[in-house]
Amino acid sequence: MVPSAALTHALTDPGEPPLRPLPDEVAELLRTLECPPRLAAHLRLVHDVAGRLTGWVARRHPGLRFDRDAVLFGAATHDIGKILHTAELSGPGAAHEPDGRDLLLRHGVDADRARFAATHAAWAEPGVPLEDLLVSLADAVWKGKRVPDLEDLVVARLAEAAGGEAWEEFAALDDLLTAIGDTADGRLAFQAAHPIHG
């Protein structure tokens, strides 16, 4: 299957500032599934922000054990179920969440990584791992949206893991999220430049 020119552009357009490329396995899966170009662009944007978040966590807490690759994979695939529910590309809906996880499982993705498609909107559930919280946070802040309750959960998890003070974690995370939010208009424009349909 040859991907459409619009999908190829969404997957390879460097962006400004340049976006990190999706993991090869994800880009290939999106081509195979004939992903809508705007969805591919969205996945790249959230993946890029997740890269910034995980890089910040790794630098701030070098001894903290978390699965950075899983966060990046989760961010790169979190909305993949919208391939099956295209109405949810431009409107509300949550059918893409469990169906996205099932789609990934059918394509050989390990359940531990496929889960992010189903959990990215369920961050308020008890016991959500840090990795899932970071995917949810990337999915909010890419467009400059701040979700205080979600941010509080991330702060609490980082403070607990690092043995630090919550207010210090909050101040540092707030600085990062503000900086990410300051460039949200460019990300929104990048996404809008790619068509919903190929």
Mean pLDDT of the chain: 94
184, 142 Cβ separation under 8 angstroms: yes
In a domain, 87, yes or no: yes
d(CA 161, CA 182): 28
Reading the chain (198 residues) residue by residue, the pLDDT tens digits are: 566 899 999 999 999 889 999 999 999 999 999 999 999 999 999 999 999 999 999 999 999 999 999 999 999 999 999 999 999 988 888 889 999 999 999 999 999 999 999 999 999 999 999 999 999 999 999 999 999 999 999 999 999 988 888 999 999 999 999 999 999 999 999 999 999 987
**39 burial level (CB within 10 Å; 0-12, 13-18, 19+):** buried
| Distance from C-alpha of 138 to C-alpha of 132, rounded to nearest angstrom | 10
Residue 74, domain member (yes or no): yes
CA angle 50, 53, 55 (to 5 degrees): 105
CB 76 within 8 A of CB 120: no
197 domain-assigned: no
**Number of domains the chain contains:** 1
The verdict on residue 80 lying in a domain is yes
CATH of the domain at 105: 1.10.3210
**Is the residue at 198 inside a domain?**
no
- Enclosing domain of residue 188: 5-192
Q: Are the C-beta atoms of 180 and 52 separated by less than 8 Å?
A: yes
How large a percentage of the chain has pLDDT more than 90?
87
